[in-house]
Homo-oligomer: A and B are copies of this chain.
Amino acid sequence: MRITRLAAALLPLMLSPAAFARDFVLTDTSAGIEQANWTTSSAKLGIKSATPFSITKTTLHGGRQEGSTLITIDTGNLKLQLIPTRGMGLYRASSGDVTLGWNSPVDEIVHPSFINLEQRGGLGWLDGFNELMVRCGYEWTGHPGTENGRLMSLHGRAQNIPASKVVVSVEEKAPYRITVKGLVKEKTFKFSDLETWAGVSVVPGEKTFRVHDELTNKSDYERDYQIIYHSNFGAPILEGGAHFSAAIEEISPFNDYAKKGLADWPTYLPATPGYDEMVFNIKPYADADGKTLAMLSNKAGDRGVAVGFNVQQLPVLTLWKNTDSVKQGYVTGIEPGTSYAYPRQIERAQGRIAKLAPGATQRFDLEYRILGSAADVRAAQSGIDAIQAGREVRLNETPMAKE
């Protein structure tokens, strides 16, 4: 039964953690709700905010987009788009003249019903990959590998599972924080019973958005999990001379090819035909609370993005430099995770498969800050420097594993 827009908008929602928030259920499999198109705004909600905002959901049509959904939060100084049908992935964010995201040859928002993850020996995920942020997990992540004769396809299943519930919440008091949460279920009889409440929040007036995810093992057994928050940035921040910065204890090349890039690993080439990708494995330093920060800044040092995360949740960081030609996809990934991008059997052998007890929940908190000025960039660098605290970065020239 499809509930009318009005009725659904009025539905109170029990699961919201934010008291005094108005909740709007846009999708709910248990109630048969899937609102194709929906919108609200500060005006419509009677909020007289200094930063008026709107939140809109649309359903896309045509080609391999048929049935994909897109939610856009627009606060004037920050516009953020996410894709409920693709595991709540973040599509684009923009503020002023800075856009986060990149241009993939995959130029549509592909619906999971058109994706076969096992295609090309487990690379079918690449048929839909074009987002700003992809959750690569949670049952497994990384390059394709085989365990017990079963193919673990590239970067897991979560990004190609449409959310079972989607809730938009707007806090009733200033600053009227907006949260969008979606429930992504990885369920396979005998194998997996993981549920992730994948959420993103925006405070109107800020240029920052925050990811708050809660992964729960609903099964009666301890279960492995892996996650990489594959966060991807292209132009205008990425350019020849752009710079990566983070608080780093150790860095090593992912493979022999990346050895060649170790000399100038923190800086970026312009779009370079034939470059393909170089990947570096980073062990970050963090502050006493586990918080750390990584940044991509442009050549002039006056635009950038800072990615904050917590090493107690996400202990390792993959730096993916894909400064290939523009049309091939000129992009870099800043990817906090529990694992590096090796196949699961390597991650297992090296002890980077995390465990979740029966019924246990693991949180993941990330912050993406758009840096719109030299001052913003300097402030982020100061934060990184404070964590680094003058300690040297250890360069390990030998890849830690061979695929």
Contact = CB atoms under 8 A, between A and B. Distances in A.
Interface of A: 1-2, 27-29, 32-34, 37, 58-67, 104-108, 111-114, 116-121, 123, 126-127, 129-130, 148-151, 161-165, 183, 185, 187-193, 218-221, 273, 324-329, 358
Given A34-B66, A119-B118, A150-B121, A127 B187 contact: yes
Contacts of A150: 120-121, 123
A60 B32 contact: yes
A62 B32 contact: yes
A329 to B, nearest CB: 6
Nearest to A166: B62
A243 to B, nearest CB: 25
Contacts of A183: 63
B126 A189 contact: yes
Given A126-B191, A189-B329, A63 B221 contact: no
Nearest to A124: B188
A333 to B, nearest CB: 12
Number of copies: 3
A114 B67 CA distance: 13
Contact of A221 (B34, B112, B328): B328
A197 B324 CA distance: 27
A64 B164 contact: yes
Residue from A114, A151, A220 with most neighbouring chain B CB atoms (10 Å):
A220
Residue from A62, A67, A120 with most neighbouring chain B CB atoms (10 Å):
A62
Given A2-B61, A34-B62, A34-B66, A220 B123 contact: no
Given A58-B32, A60-B29, A113 B114 contact: yes
A149 to B, nearest CB: 5
A164 B62 contact: yes
Contacts of A193: 105, 327-328
A163 B65 CA distance: 10
A190 B28 contact: no
26 contacts: A27-B61, A29-B61, A32-B61, A33-B62, A34-B62, A62-B162, A62-B163, A62-B165, A63-B163, A63-B185, A65-B164, A105-B187, A107-B187, A111-B113, A112-B114, A116-B117, A117-B119, A121-B148, A126-B188, A126-B191, A129-B189, A130-B189, A218-B327, A219-B325, A220-B326, A220-B328
A66 B166 CA distance: 14
B64 A162 contact: yes
A162 B218 contact: no
